[in-house]
Structure 1
Amino acid sequence: MQTLPSLQEGHIAVEEKGNQLFPVFVKLNQLRTLLIGAGHVGLEKLNAIIGNSRQARVTVVAEQVLPAVLALQQKHPYLTIKQKSFEPADLEEVDIVFAATNNSELNEQLRTVAHQKGLLINVADQPALCDFYLGSIAQKGDLKIAISTNGKSPTIAKRLKQILNESLPNELEETLINMNTLRQSLDGDFAKKVKKLNKVTEILVKPRKSFWEANIKWMIWLASILLIGTAGLTLWNTEPAFQHFLINIDPLFYWFLGAGFVFAMIDGAIGMSYGVTSASFSLTMGLPPASASMAIHISEVLSNGIAGWMHYRMGNVNWKLFKILIIPAIIGAVLGAYLLSSLEHYSKYTKPIVAVYTLILGGIILMKAFNIKRKKAEQKIKKIGALGFFGGFIDAAFGGGWGSIVLSSLIAGGRHPLFSLGTVKISRFFIATLSSLTFFTMLGGKYWEAVVGLIIGSALASPIAAKVSNRISAKTIMVAVGIIVMAVSLRSVISFILKLI
């Protein structure tokens, strides 16, 4: 091995100004590491090595070994302990060396022999003998930040590590995973990819907004509600014709207005169940399955359009998956809407079928609430087209289930949750639009009160659902929704059976 050059071998010594260290991150899991010394300092070094690279192959050479070091060997199969005196032969088949002895003469000897072998060495508590230092490390998932004070103040480095660990959000790991997936999906040249990634991460460096900037949308909504409320109250008191109009609206409108608001709030809190809760409620209120599905899908066009657009702007859409999914899904949705509309006259028979379906979905919601999961697939689901057709058909024919069927299947099949969600949401907009057009063409303006009620109610709830969801236990809501949906669906099934008897 070539001997490392040193200042003592004729090189001109240059006075160092500032921190001359070059930060690197070493793949210890791919190197052979030698640690000399197994006392308290050796234990600290060993914990630092293993703590940052659990698969690091480390050989410990020491005459005396602490019980704590021996205990680590039980947990780390790549750790080897040799209780003996150091010999130069121990440096054979080694890539990097750590010295943790309290013998200054031995440490100098170790450095000399390591350099003769062409190896880098770190000597504990003797910076002059070190080729590299171990910095304090702040870590959140795959993010590591190494801190160096050029050996002047390890205490300052530890304090900065503490500050960073406390201030860095725990969600950084999820963000890193999402960013990596986004980076892998980007097309185009390097400049285009950098521009896209800079745009996505711009929020990390934007200055903190003032109270008014951060809450402007809520102030707009508050002002709008006050304006509409004042105008409505004024018209009620001064215009008999307006009062007559409101009184003569079918009460069905007000029921669905409140239901749409509540169901959208639930959907915002737990990310699912708008379709199944709306379908169960619609059947209970006497709507035929086709009319109920029409009302649900028309009310979902706007909300899914907004959600799909937001995912598109954030780069959360897998366009390759979208292209495979969308055409079969639209065909399935239009076919389901057409068949269900054609059977409108047989609603007394289709109602119990839809009720059984919502009963099953209610059970699925309960399973999700208690984390009862099916075994995940080992490979990604490949029959995307068939999945899209089936999901679109069931969604239109039974009033909901696109998310429950397609999104759950994609995630269970190993696809990334964020990109699956974005793709499913933007696909849902086209499915809801075309199935709504099919329903409207076949049925006309039936039960417009229910349709308009759901649209207005869900629109009013959408801007505040996310805020409220942060203050409500998602599990509690899911359990309540699952039980209510199953109870209402079971009631419809039992009622049908009793009529047959």
Structure 2
Amino acid sequence: MGNQLFPVFLKLNQMQTLVIGAGPVGLEKLQAVVRQSEQARIKVVAAEISDEVYAFAKEYPQIILEHKNYEAADLAGADLVIAATNNPALNLRIVEDGHHARLLVNIADKPELCDFYLGSIVKKGDLKIAISTNGKSPTIAKRLKELFQEHLPDGLDITLQQMSKFRQTLDGDFQDKVQKLNEVSAVLVRPAAKSPSFPFFKWLVWLTIMLSLAILLAIFWHREPEFQEYLINIDPIFYWFLLGGFIFAMVDGAIGMSYGVTSTAFSLSMGLPPASASMAVHLSEVLSNGIAGWMHYRMGNINWKLFRLLIIPGVIGAVGGAFLLSSLEHYSAYTKPLVSVYTLILGGVILSKAFKKPGKRKNGKIKQIVPLGFFGGFIDAVGGGGWGSIVLSSLIAGGRNARFSLGTVKITRFFIALMSSLTFITMLKYVHWEAVGGLIIGSALAAPIAAKVSNRISVKSIMVAVGIIVILVSLRSVIMFILKVL
């Protein structure tokens, strides 16, 4: 029969919305309504109200919270009803009561019980686009929303306001006004001119990858006797790094960050100098980030303009950081506590993010991409990690699309790891192959199952555990240095 829904836009600031349930799903529905109409008048009725709902309601005085069990009398004065309870019997009762009172009812995650859906909304100022899949696939609706949100220009609302003012100046009948507005707005549907250098740029990217890998293999070939010695006489420490690489990759798959900082903190605690630790971490990340970057490229998740702004300063910063850290290898007794302080700070950041409540997103996208790329690359090489934590979090916090930011950061991370590794290998006289091999194999074994396991473990719990472990390990290194000096 196809999609039988009739799309409408409701003036929720002139209506009364009743939300039943105040748990995680209730909070999600409450935020969805307020996000589209900050002046919406809402009453929340729930037997249990979460702290997050209380905190959210404090920001909007028009939201009324009633800590009580639902009754049919709660429908009095309501125009819309949204039920977000985990009680199927109560949901059916709400539907029956709502229909008896001639009200439209939405039951969370139960399309067959809904009179209306809360669809995905694209918002650019006064422009709103509603997307519906008739309840078949909220994921598709979400992806389309991200696509529109990313590609519709931010200046579109300015154009909309200018068109409104221009419309008010027009004279003549309705047909004349429509014709003039069509002529003026025709520029919005003209195909954008394609950059002739774009295909060449993509070929240049993959040519660089192949050339860099060839250089990396040549270096390994040059050091073949040293590498063969490790293969013949495997140090037992290899198995510790194998286990560590597996665990750290599983954690990274669950929360999307912290592989670098956990691997570096672990390597330092096992006695590796900072430069060797950073090299081992970056070498282990070349393959994983190359695969991840390729997958994001195939799925169209790369913002190539953002990639061009990040890649050059990021590589320069990474090579500069690797060169500096390798040059100070003789002073590893002093650089090691400095890097431990850095991982200690990152551990605190991870721990704080675990308990941080989601806030309002900043208006406007972050503009200082080039300095961000250089700083992220430099700190990543010096500290053994931080590219994702610094660059990705800054892009998303600054208003960038999360999916395109993740894909772009992943593919640029490949180059950062590759160029850092090349610099470390050419600068360092001694390579801890047991650490490199253990981390590479361990992380590769974890990759296929990390995503499945991550869906069954609380992200907050993982972040708390990782933050505490990194802090304790880093703190131990700093304290040992202080005791040694004293």
Instruction: Please tell me whether the aligned partners of residues 29 and 55 of structure 1 are also in contact (alpha carbons under 8 angstroms).
Output: no
Give the direction of change, closer, same or farther, for the CA distance of 1:136–1:487 in structure 2 (3 Å limit): closer
Q: AA paired with 1:401?
A: G
User: How far apart are residue 284 of structure 1 and its match?
Assistant: 0.3
Structure 1: gaps of 5 or more residues: 1-18, 34-49, 58-66, 76-134, 147-163, 193-243
2:322 maps to 1:337: yes
Partner of 1:179: 147
Instruction: Please tell me whether the aligned partners of residues 242 and 442 of structure 2 are also in contact (alpha carbons under 8 angstroms).
Output: yes
Q: AA paired with 2:148?
A: N
Distance in structure 2 (CA, Å) of the matches to 1:330 and 1:270:
25
Give secondary structure in 2 for the equivalent of 1:249.
coil
RMSD between superposed Cα atoms in Å: 3.8
Distance in structure 2 (CA, Å) of the matches to 1:374 and 1:27:
26
| Aligned residues between the structures | 325
Structure-to-structure mapping, 1:11-50, within 5 angstroms? 25=7
Distance in structure 2 (CA, Å) of the matches to 1:247 and 1:287:
21
Match of 1:463 among 443, 448, 451: 448
Partner of 2:293: 308
Partner of 2:477: 492
Structure-to-structure mapping, 1:78-227, within 5 angstroms? 137-142=116-121, 165=135, 168-181=136-149, 184=152
User: How far apart are residue 140 of structure 1 and its match?
Assistant: 3.7
Comparing 465-474 with 353-362, greater Cα deviation is found at: 465-474
Distance in structure 1 (CA, Å) of the matches to 2:75 and 2:461:
46
Deviations 1:338-371 (A, max 9, x none): 0000000000101111111111111111112112
User: How far apart are residue 175 of structure 1 and its match?
Assistant: 2.4
Ranges of 4+ aligned residues in structure 1 off by more than 6 Å: 53-57, 67-70, 244-247
Partner of 2:416: 431
Partner of 1:92: none
Comparing 481-490 with 378-387, greater Cα deviation is found at: 378-387
Give secondary structure in 2 for the equivalent of 1:293.
helix
2:461 maps to 1:482: no
Give the direction of change, closer, same or farther, for the CA distance of 1:188–1:432 in structure 2 (3 Å limit): farther
Q: AA paired with 1:316?
A: N
2:371 maps to 1:371: no
Instruction: Please tell me whether the aligned partners of residues 268 and 465 of structure 1 are also in contact (alpha carbons under 8 angstroms).
Output: yes
User: How far apart are residue 25 of structure 1 and its match?
Assistant: 3.9
Give the direction of change, closer, same or farther, for the CA distance of 1:171–1:498 in structure 2 (3 Å limit): same
Q: AA paired with 2:287?
A: L
Partner of 1:406: 391
Distance in structure 1 (CA, Å) of the matches to 2:441 and 2:74:
66
Give the direction of change, closer, same or farther, for the CA distance of 1:23–1:279 in structure 2 (3 Å limit): closer
TM norm structure 1: 0.58
Give the direction of change, closer, same or farther, for the CA distance of 1:137–1:402 in structure 2 (3 Å limit): same
Instruction: Please tell me whether the aligned partners of residues 120 and 132 of structure 2 are also in contact (alpha carbons under 8 angstroms).
Output: no
Distance in structure 1 (CA, Å) of the matches to 2:9 and 2:465:
50
Q: AA paired with 2:404?
A: F
Larger radius of gyration: 1
Distance in structure 2 (CA, Å) of the matches to 1:352 and 1:145:
54
Give the direction of change, closer, same or farther, for the CA distance of 1:29–1:372 in structure 2 (3 Å limit): closer
Distance in structure 1 (CA, Å) of the matches to 2:427 and 2:285:
19
Match of 2:239 among 254, 264, 277: 254
Partner of 2:404: 419
Q: AA paired with 2:303?
A: N
Give the direction of change, closer, same or farther, for the CA distance of 1:308–1:490 in structure 2 (3 Å limit): same
**In percent, how many aligned pairs have the same letter?**
64
Distance in structure 2 (CA, Å) of the matches to 1:304 and 1:409:
19
Partner of 2:370: 385
User: How far apart are residue 29 of structure 1 and its match?
Assistant: 5.5
User: How far apart are residue 253 of structure 1 and its match?
Assistant: 1.3
Distance in structure 1 (CA, Å) of the matches to 2:408 and 2:377:
14
TM norm structure 2: 0.60
Distance in structure 1 (CA, Å) of the matches to 2:257 and 2:413:
13
Deviations 1:453-476 (A, max 9, x none): 111111111111111112222211
Deviations 1:19-66 (A, max 9, x none): 9xx986455669x99xxxxxxxxxxxxxxxx99x97999xxxxxxxxx
Structure 2: gaps of 5 or more residues: 16-32, 41-72, 82-113, 122-129, 154-188, 195-228
Distance in structure 2 (CA, Å) of the matches to 1:283 and 1:144:
50
Instruction: Please tell me whether the aligned partners of residues 379 and 414 of structure 1 are also in contact (alpha carbons under 8 angstroms).
Output: yes
